[in-house]
């Protein structure tokens, strides 16, 4: 049995809060947190007063970049079903679940429909037995309400969440921006922000009707937040997430046809951005995820409408989240809940906190280290709309089940 004592740390737990102390790990599992007597057989790691926290559980990545995840303090990822091939077959799901171990645990989100076409239901039960921790609609909305209702009902019986993309495809087809001054000035094809609320409203009604667990992967508009708040008050089993881009940037970032700011869903108005920060503050938004979907220059250095939507988000997730703490939007423990405990709960994982008995999935970070985001220095393709932004907070070391990555 291996015993490790982490001492001289700021212990930051979503449940217990932030306090000085240490952490005792036995055989990859947390044995004690706070104040304890260091066993004689323990290897000691001096944290130098830095913050020791649960490793990040990143809910909804589109690619696997081990070095980028390690740099960002990410120890588990929920892999979106959009791939080649699509995660709609149990053999493919099982392979995806195994390829990252032991340093990175990949939790596949299986396709809710065959080929993500939105028509025929996929083999959800078999994919769940093969390792899928949720089912999802991928980058697209299931237009057929009958199909979506059957997906939710089946997922309810399996007790797994449905991870839904919330944009009405009848309104967003061909759009790369949100209706507004920026889209008009640039002449970009755009869709109304109401496309999100329409999709959210329908899926909430179906989730309420079936009793299923629904996770809106990205909610980004004031109207959607109002709907989700009301649904939570009614007892609907709904959670929602967001990326730092929609908290720190508005559609103005697309000016000069800046394709690094071409995202899905597209950046919203300033009023929606402020509403998103309010939804973080009041707990409406449960999960902060990277939305990691990097693309090389061959897909980004194109006319805006022809460029690929997405950004490299893994390496900037923590520092951009810490900006919310410094701005007084939420305390550090709540941020860590959004990064680790809450996504783990959506996926049905027993991790994300520093409680005794939990896996020793840990990150040590310095919340005050200043640095400037430089996409060209990223471990993955460095297309980020935050290129050049000064931030604070660096991940120093990462452990998966007590084993340093």
pTM: 0.96
Task: Calculate the CA 27 to chain-centre distance.
Answer: 28
Model confidence at 186: pLDDT above 80: yes
pLDDT band at 311 (very low <50, low <70, confident <90, very high): very high
- Sketch the domain layout of the chain as residue ranges: 55-352
Judged by DSSP in three states, 89 sits in: coil
Average pLDDT of the segment spanning 303-331: 97
Ramachandran bin of 180, using left for φ above 0, alpha for ψ from -120 to 50, beta for the remaining angles: left
CA distance 312 to 68: 9
% of the chain beyond a pLDDT of 70: 100
Average pLDDT of the segment spanning 20-40: 95
pLDDT value at residue 237: 98
Model confidence at 126: pLDDT above 90: yes
- Number of Cα atoms under 13 Å in the Cβ half of residue 339: 33
Model confidence at 201: pLDDT above 80: yes
- Euclidean distance between the first and final Cα of the chain, in Å? 19
Return mean pLDDT, the chain: 96
Model confidence at 1: pLDDT above 80: no
Average pLDDT of the segment spanning 128-148: 97
Tell me the backbone φ, ψ of residue 209, rounded to 5 degrees: -65, -40
Q: Which of 257, 236, 266, 239 is nearest to 172 (CA)?
A: 266
CA distance 286 to 22: 28
CA distance 165 to 192: 16
**Distance of CA 371 to CAs 292, 309, 315, Å?**
20, 26, 12
Average pLDDT of the segment spanning 22-38: 95
Domain 55-352 has CATH 3.40.50.300: no
What DSSP string describes 301-350? Answer: SS-GGGSPP-B--GGGHHHHHHHHHHTTSS-HHHHHIIIIIHHHHHHT-S
% of the chain beyond a pLDDT of 90: 97
Average pLDDT of the segment spanning 170-198: 97
Average pLDDT of the segment spanning 120-145: 96
Model confidence at 357: pLDDT above 90: yes
């Amino acid at each position: 049995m291996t015993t490790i004592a982490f001492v001289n740390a700021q212990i930051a737990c979503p449940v217990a809060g932030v306090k000085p102390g240490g952490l005792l790990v036995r055989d990859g599992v947390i044995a004690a947190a706070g104040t304890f007597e260091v066993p004689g057989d323990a290897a000691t790691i001096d944290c130098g007063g830095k913050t020791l926290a649960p490793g990040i559980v990143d809910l909804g990545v589109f690619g696997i970049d081990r070095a980028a995840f390690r740099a960002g303090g990410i120890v588990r990822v929920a892999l979106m079903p959009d791939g080649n091939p699509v995660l709609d077959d149990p053999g493919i799901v099982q392979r995806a679940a195994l390829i990252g171990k032991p340093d990175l645990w990949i939790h596949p989100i299986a396709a809710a429909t065959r080929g993500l076409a939105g028509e025929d239901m996929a083999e959800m039960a078999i994919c769940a037995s093969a390792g899928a921790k949720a089912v999802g609609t991928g980058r697209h909305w299931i237009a057929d309400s009958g199909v979506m209702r059957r997906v939710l009902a089946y997922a309810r019986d399996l007790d797994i969440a449905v991870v839904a993309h919330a944009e009405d495809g009848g309104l967003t087809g061909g759009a790369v921006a949100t209706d507004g001054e920026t889209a008009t000035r640039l002449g970009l094809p755009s869709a109304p922000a109401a496309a999100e609320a329409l999709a959210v409203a329908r899926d909430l009604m179906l989730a309420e009707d079936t009793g299923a667990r629904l996770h809106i992967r990205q909610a980004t508009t004031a109207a959607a937040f109002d709907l989700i708040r009301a649904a939570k008050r009614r007892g609907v089993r709904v959670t929602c997430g967001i990326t730092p881009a929609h908290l720190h940037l508005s559609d103005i970032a697309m000016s000069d046809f800046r394709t690094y700011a071409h995202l899905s869903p597209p950046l919203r108005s300033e009023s929606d951005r402020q509403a998103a920060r309010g939804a973080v503050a009041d707990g409406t938004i449960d999960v902060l995820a990277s939305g990691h979907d990097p693309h090389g220059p061959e897909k980004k250095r194109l006319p805006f409408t022809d460029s690929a939507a997405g950004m490299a988000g893994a390496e900037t997730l923590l520092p951009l989240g810490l900006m919310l703490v410094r701005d007084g939007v939420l305390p550090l423990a709540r941020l860590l809940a959004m990064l680790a405990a809450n996504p783990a709960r959506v996926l049905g994982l027993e991790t994300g906190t520093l409680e005794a008995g939990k896996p020793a999935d840990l990150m040590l970070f310095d919340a005050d280290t200043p640095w400037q985001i430089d996409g060209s220095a990223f471990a993955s393709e460095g297309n980020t709309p935050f290129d050049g932004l000064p931030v604070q907070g660096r991940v120093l070391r990462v452990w998966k089940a007590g084993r340093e990555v």
